[in-house]
Amino acid sequence: MAKKSICAVTRGEVDLDAYEAKDGEWRALGLAAPARRALINAGLTKLTQLKTKKRGWVAELHGMGPNALKKLDEAMTAQGIQFRSER
């Protein structure tokens, strides 16, 4: 018996054009689509917005992986910003 997809993207239930209108900064950083969608779903469209979030919180977003976090860390360091303290 074939497995059914539980992914809204592969079932065609997600308007990818709506994400494309908002993910320019994330795309420029080279983030994969799942990470870009995760950030947008969390209301984050700009790198500077991440300074209001804890790194652990961002890491828990569905679609956010170690490669995406590394790219975010590097970009934030380059701009002199950092995640909110975990304390």
Angle at alpha carbon of residue 8, lines to 5 and 10, rounded to 5°: 60
The CA distance from 31 to 37, in Å, is: 10
The CA distance from 13 to 15, in Å, is: 7
In a domain, 57, yes or no: yes
In a domain, 6, yes or no: no
pLDDT tens digit sequence for 25-78: 999 999 998 999 999 999 999 999 999 999 999 999 999 999 999 999 999 999
Q: Quote the pLDDT of residue 45.
A: 95
In a domain, 51, yes or no: yes
The number of folded domains in the chain is 1
In a domain, 86, yes or no: no
The predicted model scores a pTM of 0.81
Domain encompassing residue 63: 17-79
